[in-house]
Chain A
Amino acid sequence: MADESRSRSAGVFDIRLIIALLMGVYGAVLTVLGIGFTTDEDMAKSADININLWAGLAMLVFAGVFVLWAQLRPLTVPDNVESDATEEEAVEPGH
């Protein structure tokens, strides 16, 4: 039972890609806003930094790094489960 759930949770979805998706979309929207839709008023508000542009670019880079990480080190089902972990279901705790 325990081993089954362990392998399934490893295989179903990779949280790194979901984080990259959210950050990537945010980054893209902010970058477009920063390049095309930043008014002088916006600039004055944020201490003359085009914060949408910079934050957007940073988020795109971040998303890229996470995708790369997920590609280079894909999730694997662990085959060498620690010895004590295999018996966790055998122990009935607390009774």
Chain B
Amino acid sequence: MTVLAQADLRLDANAIDYLLLAFYFFVVLGIGYLARKQVSTSLDFFLSGRSLPAWVTGLAFIAANLGAIEVMGMSANGAEYGLPTAHYFWIGAVPAMLFLGIVMMPFYYGSKVRSVPEFMLRRFGKPAHLVNGISFAAAQILIAGANLFLLASVVNLLLGWPIWVSVILAAVIVLSYTALGGLSAAIYNEVLQFFVIVAALLPLTIVGLYKVGGWDGLVDKVAGGPGGAEQLSSWPGNQLTGFGDNFLSVLGLVFGLGFVLSFGYWTTNFVEVQRAMASKSMSAARRTPIIGAFPKILMPFIVIIPGMIAGVTVTELQGENKAALMAGDGAESGATFNDALLLLMRDLLPNGMLGIAIAGLLASFMAGMAANLSSFNTVFTYDIWQAYIKKGESDEYYLRTGRTVTAIATVLAIGTAFIASTYSNLMDYLQQLFSFFNAPLFATFILGMFWKRMTPTAGWTGLVSGTLAALGVFALAETGVWDLPGQGASFVGAGAAFAVDIVVSVVVTYMTQPKPAPQLVGLVYSMTPKERLKHATTGDDAGWYRSPGLLAGIALVITIVLNFIF
């Protein structure tokens, strides 16, 4: 946290900016208040009563991921590595989101589970359920802390308040609307936040591009900078992966990032899947991630490009400072890549637009944290409290538990904010967490969904050994035994977790008893009648433009074209 304070980043906000910011908070809390009226059962609170239209859940789907981490972390990445960062979107997110909508959503929505761990319970039984429930809950608290820390550093710059004051104040605001309105409030706010974030970043990008002399100007400046021309094309991305060899780098990106990390993240992360589960029909649930994929494809242009512009125009980040930061030393200016977006805003935006940009950043923080909280309280209440601690209470009891748990989680997140503050590039921290939790989960899921022989024991042993493998790689990289700079350590960790999980699951499966076939209907592909995986094509779900398959095809073509251009 002291890192941010060293460089003088105080934004020159005036009364108008504060007014715009205040109005935003007024609307956010208003949504929480209005959504509260709809909450009368625990299903309303945790899954919005499964009633939302696809465009709302689709935008919430990506907004939940578009936390301050994503916005500030990805622009930090853009400043440090340049265009290869786009892999997180085009190789990473988009194919996985389409896969979720087309292949996996029918199982999630069709089986009527209320959470991803609950799917584990029905497929693999209690041990896998408990392992997954606890590791997911722990990960959410850690990530919520990272969001809190980012918000605190923004407010610290803006108002000069001590970090701990802004951490607590921000936590109280998010807490009040998620505890009041549950998932609906979180989702509606995420949709609102999405638009505010775009309204903040799009003008910033346009002004920034004018400043550097258009796209050509940016290309010239980046090529002449410390990263060189390599930062202008997304492949092979050696700087990002830390692999010197081009082939290994591409392999690391496609398999580590693209396949294991991203598929693991997007298809099994309940934060995301929960948004789709809240939609009103199977068709809407399948369209949720696919609709989300379209804005996701375009996101690099308003997140990574501002980062790159900051890396060549902002005094504190360009030239020698950038070279020093890339080498892993502190820059003389005291700035870090995490400051890229803030510094660019300071340099380019007049009062008025500045207020909206600040609102956008705070919005993105709250979107992320509210998403963490609303999925944490669901998993904790349904999968830990109701399943193992207090069974068979009234629905009202669990609704109350959900609200209490939200408050406790907020307090815990304040604690983990201080862990997050020790990393200089927060994406490194997050990719690290994902390699521990999501990569093995994805392996277990994909085996479990398509291989009916897989046994309950294999389910949990695979998960545990996968996570241990990722932790092992992390330990080797941290202690310097295995030198993996950049984000290579988390890519390798994810790959190891995935491979170990698969091997252990297969070996254990052949030594233990599978579940009886009738219990696998709706959970395993070959055991599920094809009609159960279909969705209605009438009424609100009619029309070619609502066909999940076609929409997914269009998104895929756009992504491939973009990969060729950049």
Contact = CB atoms under 8 A, between A and B. Distances in A.
Interface string B91-134: 00000000000000000001111100010011000000000000
Nearest to B184: A9
Nearest to B538: A80
A52 B16 CA distance: 12
A45 B350 contact: yes
Interface in A1-54: 1-2, 5-6, 8-10, 12-13, 15, 18-19, 21-23, 25-26, 29-30, 33-34, 37-38, 42, 45-49, 51-52, 54
A35 B112 CA distance: 54
A84 B110 contact: yes
Interface stretch (B202-210, B411-419, B493-501): B202-210
B199 A59 contact: yes
Interface residues of A, number: 49
B48 A52 contact: no
Task: Classify chain B: how many residues form its interface, as a range.
Answer: 35 or more
Contact of B112 (A8, A34, A91): A91
B49 A46 contact: no
Contacts, number: 146
Interface string B29-70: 011001001101101100011111000100000000000000
B230 interface: no
B191 A15 contact: yes
A57 to B, nearest CB: 11
Contact of A19 (B44, B191, B348, B351): B191
A18 to B, nearest CB: 6
A5 B44 contact: yes
Interface stretch (B19-27, B299-307, B320-328, B422-430): B19-27
A59 B111 CA distance: 41
A71 interface: no
B41 A78 contact: no
* Majority DSSP secondary structure for residues of B touching A: helix
B181 to A, nearest CB: 11
B280 A6 contact: yes
B281 A26 contact: no
B352 A47 contact: no
Nearest to A13: B34
Contacts of A55: 199, 202-203, 353, 356
A94 interface: yes
Contact of B356 (A26, A54, A93): A26
B453 interface: no
B350 A5 contact: no
B551 interface: no
A85 interface: yes
Given A19-B191, A84-B110, A88-B50, A1 B387 contact: no
B113 A93 contact: yes
Given A21-B27, A22-B196, 5 more contacts: A12-B37, A33-B350, A33-B352, A42-B350, A84-B110
